[in-house]
Structure 1
Amino acid sequence: MLLTSVIIVLREVLEAALLISVLAALRQMQGGSRRGLLWGVLAGLMASLVIARSMGAISELADGVGQELFLAFLHGVVYLALLCISVLALRESSSHTLLMGVLMATAVAVAVSREGEEVFLYISAFQQNDEVRSSLYSGSLIGLGIGASAGALLYYALCLLPPKCGYRMILLLLTVVAGAMTLQASGLLIQADYLPDGMVWDSSGWLPEDGIAGQLLYAMLGYEATPAPAQLWAYGGAVLLMTSVLLWQWRRSRSAS
């Protein structure tokens, strides 16, 4: 139970921590306040408690697939927020500072509520068992500490990069995270029978999803050992759209300057 708790909590915390770290580094490079990110974390934690307590009722909606549709919607919100944040980052205009802060806080709040809900549900499912309670809490704290530490290391690493290189790395990471959100959303829609199922390849033999490496790759890249064609199309389309929009905005900014 100890190792299982570490892996599960680490996966959820790492997803949110990496996103928060990248956005905080972007805010630092822009010279803006990071207070909005803190408010986003607090709002996300409160929302995750509400969602976890309401998940039973949510699951009964839409003929029993309410949970999948709701979580897919949250992933879609994060993707759109990251797309807008990336575009505004290339504009480098002070008039968009407030909008940037709102979008960052929204992305953080939604991501934290999504991952926090999974952690709360996992802990609540086993905390009544006296035999595993100690290892459950210990493993959860260890996973939380490792995930938060990884996020802090990424933040400082990005801040130490030269501004031009740092901006490029941040935009690359935001594109990867946005693609992962779309991949996970499409997987949920497949579970809800809104998208066709299938399997393009099976890498579970050498990199299983339930292993440590697989869990970490899932957190960072949305790794799937047996992805469906619809997931790959969704991932490729999301990354292509974000890349195309960023290139268009970059060329527009260069022409204007």
Structure 2
Amino acid sequence: ALQAGALAGVGAGVVLSGISYFGLASIPSRYVFSVTSALIIFLAAGLAAQAAQFLSNAGIVTGLDQILWNSSGLIPENGWPGRVLHALVGYTDRPTVLQGIVYVGTILVMVGLMQMTAQNKRRALRTA
């Protein structure tokens, strides 16, 4: 049973790696960095929201612990789709207000910083 589980895990990893590779390879090259940047932004937002929840669970950050929504009936966090979404974008089936604020705030800050960087590069190219 343990060996079958290990083989299933390796097989799932191979399949997901192949899907990721061929999915990214099918994206036109001019959009690859935009797509990977978006994936990184959502990953970072999920990690930040998870960190906020850890701080809340530890009693360091109090308040804003009301549940925003409950999607456990639709996509339970402990099912395989929920686990995949949790790993990729920080999905939680019962996020708190704090997690929502941190998630959206992280996205806004990262997009804003990317826009500022792009503007600075454009200005530097015009003056050079």
**Length-normalised TM-score, structure 1:** 0.44
Aligned position for 1:181:
47
Partners of 2:33 and 2:61 lie apart in 1 by 35
1:256 matched to 2:124? The reply is: yes
Do 1:195 and 1:230's aligned partners in 2 also have CA atoms closer than 8 Å? no
Bigger helix share: 1
The runs of 4+ residues in structure 1 deviating greater than 3 Å are none
Instruction: Kindly provide the amino acid, as one letter, of the partner of residue 60 in structure 2.
Output: Y
- The 5 Å alignment of 1:1-257 reads 135-196=1-62, 197-257=65-125
TM-superposed deviation, 1:148 = 4.0
Partners of 1:155 and 1:188 lie apart in 2 by 32
Aligned position for 1:60:
none
**Deviation digits for residues 175-197 of structure 1 (CA, Å, limit 9, x no counterpart):** 11111111221222222122233
Residues 187/253 of structure 1: CA separation in 2 closer, same or farther (3 Å cut): same
Task: Give unmatched runs, 5+ long, in structure 1.
Answer: 1-134
Aligned position for 1:84:
none
Task: Give unmatched runs, 5+ long, in structure 2.
Answer: none
- Larger relative contact order (Cα-Cα within 8 Å, sequence gap ≥ 6): 1
Partners of 1:215 and 1:255 lie apart in 2 by 43
Partners of 1:193 and 1:214 lie apart in 2 by 26
TM-superposed deviation, 1:153 = 2.9
TM-superposed deviation, 1:209 = 1.2
Q: What RMSD, in angstroms, separates the aligned Cα atoms of the two structures?
A: 1.8
Do 2:42 and 2:89's aligned partners in 1 also have CA atoms closer than 8 Å? yes
**Length-normalised TM-score, structure 2:** 0.83
TM-superposed deviation, 1:160 = 4.1
